[in-house]
């Protein structure tokens, strides 16, 4: 199985930094955001490669995932074998690239990987959302297995006034007692991309982790534009739902770290530092009195 990681965006919310470095290569502690996502994907049993949907404007992404023998050699010669190993690991991850050179939407990005996934179900992991620790994909795979291999989407409750920022799902509870509680599973009855709060069917938002039936690729191939004038993955999933059962797994939104804006990226780094033994002490020391501002 393959995991598709859409990462072709220009990172406009991070300009001017993204003039020099793709936002996916901004670090969360010492690793680029996208390496956390790639490793999460490859951790799942049955996933043998990550397919990154990049744009030709960002060759640094390919460079990052390529071997760097000169740097490795230098580190080895200077007694820094552990660092050399980290550099080697990044260059050896099973990552392939496809391209989306026009910003035509998430659905269009996923479609670019159609020939790579073939007739197998596939994961989609959004490249600016990191789930440290165990990730969400194993739980999604378990829900899919329990329902005949159906597509599964992770959702989390959001503030009802913010539905216009998300894909929103509706469905009937088939596991758990509370649709807002992590672990609940819904059989989907509808999905809608970025609905205004007045028309949103629920406040359960798609959080950037999908396990999808390959049939969605055929639907994406002739999917018209939707919200924001873009080819939306959510709209193709609405059509998939007319053909196949689909499920939503409710997750704890706090399990994931959004790295898409300077503020959320800074918060994501702070949260990583707070949970990283090697960084914790230095992090607090460096913050000094400001550490008291952390609630």
Residues that bind ligand G1P (CB under 6 A): 106, 126, 166-167, 193, 205-208, 232-234
Between residues 41 and 84, which has the closer beta carbon with respect to ligand G1P? 41
In 166-181, which positions are buried (b, 16+ CB within 10 angstroms) versus exposed (e)?
Answer: bbbbbbeeeeeeebee
Q: Which residue's Cβ lies closest to ligand G1P?
A: 167
Which strand (E) or helix (H) includes residue 287?
helix 277-287
Distance of alpha carbon 14 from alpha carbon 145, whole angstroms: 39
Peptide bond into 16 cis (omega under 30): yes
- CB of 89: closest distance to ligand G1P in angstroms? 28
- Which of 192, 130, 146, 134 lies closest to 167 in space, CA to CA? 192
Between residues 134 and 165, which has the closer beta carbon with respect to ligand G1P? 165
- CB of 206: closest distance to ligand G1P in angstroms? 4
Distance of alpha carbon 14 from alpha carbon 106, whole angstroms: 19
- CB of 207: closest distance to ligand G1P in angstroms? 6
- CB of 58: closest distance to ligand G1P in angstroms? 17
- CB of 107: closest distance to ligand G1P in angstroms? 8
The distance between the two most distant Cα atoms of the chain, rounded to a whole number of Å, is 63
- Which of 31, 10, 5 lies closest to 21 in space, CA to CA? 10
- CB of 145: closest distance to ligand G1P in angstroms? 24
Distance of alpha carbon 102 from alpha carbon 109, whole angstroms: 9
Between residues 32 and 256, which has the closer beta carbon with respect to ligand G1P? 256
3-class SS at 10?
A: coil
Between residues 90 and 204, which has the closer beta carbon with respect to ligand G1P? 204
- Which of 188, 193, 262 lies closest to 224 in space, CA to CA? 193
Q: Which residue has the tokens 């509808």?
A: 190
3-class SS at 267?
A: helix
Between residues 106 and 130, which has the closer beta carbon with respect to ligand G1P? 106
- CB of 292: closest distance to ligand G1P in angstroms? 32
Between residues 184 and 231, which has the closer beta carbon with respect to ligand G1P? 231
The interaxial angle of helices 81-92 and 69-77, nearest 10 deg, is: 160
Between residues 40 and 72, which has the closer beta carbon with respect to ligand G1P? 40
Per the CB < 8 A criterion, the answer to whether 78 and 124 are in contact is no
């Amino acid at each position: 199985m393959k995991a598709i990681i859409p990462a072709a965006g220009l990172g406009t919310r991070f300009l001017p930094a993204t003039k020099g470095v793709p936002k996916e290569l901004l670090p969360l502690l010492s690793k680029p955001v996208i390496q956390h996502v790639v490793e999460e994907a490859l951790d799942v049993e049955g996933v043998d490669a990550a397919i990154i949907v990049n744009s030709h404007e960002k060759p640094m992404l390919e460079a990052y995932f390529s071997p760097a023998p000169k740097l490795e050699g230098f580190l080895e010669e200077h007694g820094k074998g552990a660092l050399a190993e980290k550099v080697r690991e990044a260059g050896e991850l099973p990552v392939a690239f496809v391209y989306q050179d026009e910003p035509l939407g998430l659905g269009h990005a996923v479609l670019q990987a159609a020939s790579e996934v073939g007739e197998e179900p596939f994961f989609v992991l959004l490249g600016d959302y990191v789930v440290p620790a165990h990730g969400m994909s194993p739980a999604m795979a378990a829900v899919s297995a329990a329902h005949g291999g159906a597509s599964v989407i992770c959702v989390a409750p959001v503030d009802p006034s913010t539905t216009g920022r998300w894909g929103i799902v509706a469905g009937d509870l088939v596991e758990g007692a509370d649709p807002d509680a992590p672990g609940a599973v819904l059989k989907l009855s509808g999905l809608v991309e970025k609905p205004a709060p007045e028309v949103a069917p629920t406040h359960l938002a798609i959080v950037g982790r999908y396990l999808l039936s390959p049939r969605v690729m055929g639907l994406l191939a002739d999917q018209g534009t939707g919200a924001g004038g873009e080819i939306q993955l959510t709209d193709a999933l609405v059509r998939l739902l007319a053909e196949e059962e689909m499920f939503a797994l409710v997750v704890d939104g706090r399990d994931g770290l959004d790295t898409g804006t300077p503020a959320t990226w800074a918060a994501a780094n702070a949260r990583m530092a707070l949970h990283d033994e090697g960084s914790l002490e230095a992090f607090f020391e460096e913050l000094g009195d400001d550490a008291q501002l952390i609630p």
